[in-house]
Amino acid sequence: MSLKKVLTVCFLLAVSSSVMAELRIGVVDLRKALFMSEQAQSFGQKLQNEFADDEKKAREAEEAARKLQERLQSDGSMMNESERKELTANFQEKVREFNFLKQKLDSQVNARKQKFLEDARPQVDEALRQLQNENNLDLIVPSEAVVYADPDMDLTEGLLKKLNK
């Protein structure tokens, strides 16, 4: 559990029951709202288009490695030692190529997603402030930190609507 979650839980436990009755709390699934937003959908499509060639190269390397492995398994026993060694070396090289391409692609995609999240943060913060004011809330808690909440407390749809404005 993250420190933020622990502090949130401790805060809620520390507040007396009489104060809790007066405390107005909302719950949001930030991840869901952000990744279902129109901006995120557009970003995902752009990302997919941008990295389509790299993904294709990785798939081709994976397919080539799979074919070499199948050939090695089906014909390996009938090959002489040098042919089997050469085929094994080719297979291992394709596996290394696939792993390199996949790691590179994953790293680039993750970096772009992180940048998207950082860039979206001010818009999310503003939408949360608006939700807090509109609903006269004292506290908005991420759904990941909540064990149970009344469905009426869930403001995720409202946050999504604000992000789509």
Dihedral angle sign, alpha carbons of residues 144, 145, 147, 152: negative
Comparing CA positions, the residue from 145, 110, 135 lying closest to residue 30 is: 145
The overall pTM is greater than 0.75: no
Q: Tell me, what CATH number does 16's domain have?
A: 3.30.910.20
Structure tokens that stand for 91 in this block: 């297979």
Residue 91: domain span: 3-163
Structural domain total, the chain: 1
The tens place of each residue's pLDDT in the chain, 165 residues long, gives 565 665 565 565 555 444 555 889 999 999 999 989 999 999 999 999 999 999 999 999 999 999 999 998 998 788 888 998 999 999 999 999 999 999 999 999 999 999 999 999 999 999 999 999 999 999 999 999 989 888 989 999 999 999 998
* Residues constituting the chain: 165
